[in-house]
Structure 1
Amino acid sequence: MTTVETIERAIEQLPSEELAKLRRWFLEFDAAAWDAQIEADAAAGKFDALAEEALAEYRTGRAREM
């Protein structure tokens, strides 16, 4: 049995209060991991081309208000 399968089985056995606690923890954990990945990608310049494209459209008047 893999680690993930073991965790799945353990989660299936949790009482509802503990499951709710796990959900809250995981949402916070996942959001923090996502934020860290976005920050790393931004620092590595992975969004630079997209930002420049958006700015170019804005400068030429092709942007519109949302």
Structure 2
Amino acid sequence: MTKLLEQAVNKVKTLSDNEQNAIAALILEEIEDDFRWDKSFASSQDTLAKLAEEATEEINSK
């Protein structure tokens, strides 16, 4: 665990259970969002490459 994360966890420990749960839910939601973006981005590489190629061809043809 990084020092910054350790500091954050120590501060969160001083909060009420409800506040701790709210922060935990936010963190878990953020991690899940990052995972979904990574998965979505990884599965779209072929499409993005094709669009980039088409854009380059269009620019070069002008």
Quote the Cα distance in structure 2 between the aligned partners of 1:40 and 1:11: 32
Structure 1: gaps spanning 5 or more residues: 46-66
| TM-score, scaled to structure 1 | 0.56
Give every structure 1 segment of 4 or more consecutive aligned residues whose post-TM-superposition deviation is greater than 4 Å: none
Q: Which has the higher contact order (CA 8 A, sep 6+)?
A: 2
% identical aligned pairs: 11
Higher relative helix content: 2
| SS of equivalent to 2:39 | helix
| TM-score, scaled to structure 2 | 0.59
Structure 2: gaps spanning 5 or more residues: 47-62
Q: Which residue of 2 aligns with 1:41?
A: 42
Let me know the Cα RMSD of the aligned residues: 1.9
Q: Which residue of 2 aligns with 1:61?
A: none
Measure how far apart 1:38 and its partner are: 0.2
Q: Deviations over 1:2-42 (max 9, x none)?
A: 21121121122121010111122122211111100101111
